C-alpha cells in the first residue's frame, strides 16, 4: 500500500548489534555447502547443523539430508557433524565404518573439548556448567570416559557436589550460557572449592557474550524485545532471559514473522529486535517488514561493538 496511513500507530524499533550469525554457524553452513559441491548430493548431516529450521530447510533444498544417527547414513555417502560437537564415539564409529566424514564442530567448542582432556590428563575431576540434553553438552561429556565430568546446571547443583578443597577440580562451561547466571554458579563453586581451576580464557564464546551485551544495552529502553531464533537454540533462549533481566518489559522468541502474536505488541512504543547466533538476517528483515505493514516504523541500530572473528574451513574441504 502506498501513501500515508494516518491511523497506523508508530513503532520505534531498536535493532541490537551484533546479532544473528556467528563465525561458527557461518563456517558450519559453508562446510555443508562445500561438501555438497565436493561430493554431490546427497550429503548427510548428523543432527541439525545449527539450530534453525530455515537454515536446515535451505540446505535440504540443496541436497543435504539430516539424520539422528550414523546408522541412517547409507554406505559410501559422506556425513557432516554439526557445529555443536559430537562425543568421541561418533568419529570413532565413522572411522570403523570407513565413512567419509567432515567435522563442522565450532573451533570454540573444540577448545572446550581440549580443556576437558587436559584437565583429565592432569588428574582433575571436571565440572561442566551447562544444560542437560543439549547436543553440545552431550558432545562435551562424550570426550571423556563416563563419570569423569559432572554436569552442573544451577547454584543448587553446586551445593550437592560431592567434593571439598582437597579434590583436584576444574570447571568448563557450555559456550552459549548466560554470562551473568554462569558467573553466579562459578562464584558458588569457588565459595565451596577455592582451588577450582578456571578456563584460561572464558568458555562462553565471544558471539554469545556480544549478543547478550547488545541486548543489555537496549533492553532498558524497550517495552518488548523479539529474539529471532529457534526454541532449541540455547543462545537465543538466553537472549530472552537477558532481555527480561535487563529491563525489557516483555521478551519472546520468534521463529518467523508469520508466527508473531500481534496482540503482544499492543501498547508497545519501543520494540527491541535481536537474533540468536543461528538465525539468518533475512528472518530479522522479514519481522521488520511485517511490522511496517501495521505500524509507522522507525529503525535505529544500536551497536555494542564490531565482530571480526572468522574460522578457517577444515583441511579436507579447503583444498
Ligand atoms: S555460538 Fe559461539 S560456540 Fe556456538 S557456533 Fe557460534 S561462535 Fe561457535
Say what the pLDDT of residue 7 is.
82
Rounded CA Rg of the chain: 21
Work out the percent of the chain whose per-residue pLDDT is above 90. Answer: 96
Say what the pLDDT of residue 319 is.
64
**Does 83 sit in the ligand 1 pocket, CB within 6 Å?**
yes
220/211 Cα distance (integer angstroms): 15
240/248 Cα distance (integer angstroms): 9
Q: pTM for the complete prediction?
A: 0.95
CA of 113 to the centre of ligand 1 (A): 14
Residues of the chain with pLDDT under 70: 1-6, 319
216/317 Cα distance (integer angstroms): 38
For residue 191, the surrounding DSSP H or E stretch is: helix 179-192
**Does 236 sit in the ligand 1 pocket, CB within 6 Å?**
no
Catalytic residues: 136
Summarised one tens digit per residue, pLDDT across range 124-146 is 999 999 999 999 999 999 999 99
**Cβ contacts of 38 within 8 Å, gap of 6 or more:** 317
**Does 104 sit in the ligand 1 pocket, CB within 6 Å?**
no
Q: Residue 56: CA atoms inside 13 Å, Cβ hemisphere, count?
A: 18
Quote the mean pLDDT of the chain.
Answer: 96
Summarised one tens digit per residue, pLDDT across range 64-116 is 999 999 999 999 999 999 999 999 999 999 999 999 999 999 999 999 999 99
Short-list 127, 192, 202, CA closest to 165: 192
The CA distances from residue 195 to 3, 163, 165, 168, in Å, are 67, 11, 6, 8
Give buried/exposed letters for 239-268 (b at 16+ CB in 10 A, else e).
bbbbbbbbebebbebbbebeebeeeebeeb
Q: Which of 82, 105, 109, 131 to mutate to test the pocket of ligand 1 (most atoms within 8 A of CB)?
A: 109
Say what the pLDDT of residue 56 is.
97
Query: Cβ distance 154 to 125 under 8 Å?
Result: no
Say what the pLDDT of residue 316 is.
80
Amino acid at each position: 500500500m502506498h501513501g500515508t496511513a494516518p491511523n497506523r500507530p508508530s513503532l520505534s524499533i531498536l535493532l541490537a548489534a551484533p546479532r544473528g550469525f556467528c563465525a561458527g554457524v557461518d563456517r558450519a553452513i559453508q562446510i555443508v555447502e562445500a561438501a555438497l559441491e565436493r561430493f554431490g548430493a546427497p550429503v548427510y548431516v548428523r543432527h541439525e547443523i545449527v539450530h534453525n529450521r530455515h537454515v536446515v530447510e535451505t540446505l535440504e533444498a540443496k541436497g543435504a539430508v539430516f539424520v539422528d544417527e550414523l546408522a541412517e547414513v547409507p554406505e559410501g555417502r559422506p556425513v557432516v557433524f554439526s557445529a555443536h560437537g559430537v562425543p568421541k564415539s561418533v568419529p570413532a564409529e565413522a572411522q570403523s565404518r570407513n565413512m567419509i566424514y567432515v567435522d563442522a564442530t565450532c573451533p570454540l567448542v573444540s577448545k572446550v573439548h581440549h580443556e576437558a582432556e587436559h584437565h583429565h590428563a592432569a588428574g582433575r575431576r571436571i565440572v561442566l556448567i551447562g544444560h542437560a540434553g543439549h547436543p553440545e553438552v552431550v558432545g562435551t561429556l562424550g570426550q571423556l570416559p563416563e563419570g569423569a565430568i559432572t554436569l552442573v546446571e544451577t547454584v543448587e547443583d553446586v551445593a550437592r557436589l560431592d567434593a571439598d578443597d582437597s579434590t583436584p577440580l576444574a570447571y568448563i562451561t557450555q559456550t552459549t550460557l548466560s554470562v551473568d547466571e554462569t558467573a553466579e554458579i562459578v562464584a558458588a563453586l569457588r565459595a565451596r572449592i577455592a582451588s577450582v581451576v578456571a578456563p584460561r580464557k572464558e568458555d562462553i564464546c565471544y558471539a554469545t557474550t556480544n549478543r547478550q551485551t547488545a541486548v543489555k544495552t537496549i533492553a532498558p529502553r524497550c517495552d518488548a524485545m523479539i529474539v529471532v531464533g529457534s526454541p532449541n537454540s540455547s543462545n537465543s533462549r538466553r537472549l530472552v532471559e537477558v532481555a527480561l533481566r535487563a529491563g525489557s518489559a516483555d521478551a519472546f522468541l520468534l521463529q518467523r514473522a508469520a508466527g508473531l502474536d500481534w496482540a503482544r505488541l499492543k501498547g508497545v512504543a519501543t520494540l527491541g529486535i535481536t537474533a540468536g547466533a543461528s538465525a539468518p538476517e533475512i528472518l530479522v528483515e522479514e519481522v521488520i517488514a511485517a511490522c511496517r505493514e501495521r505500524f509507522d516504523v522507525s529503525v535505529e541500530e544500536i551497536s555494542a561493538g564490531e565482530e571480526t572473528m572468522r574460522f578457517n574451513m577444515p583441511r579436507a574441504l579447503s583444498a
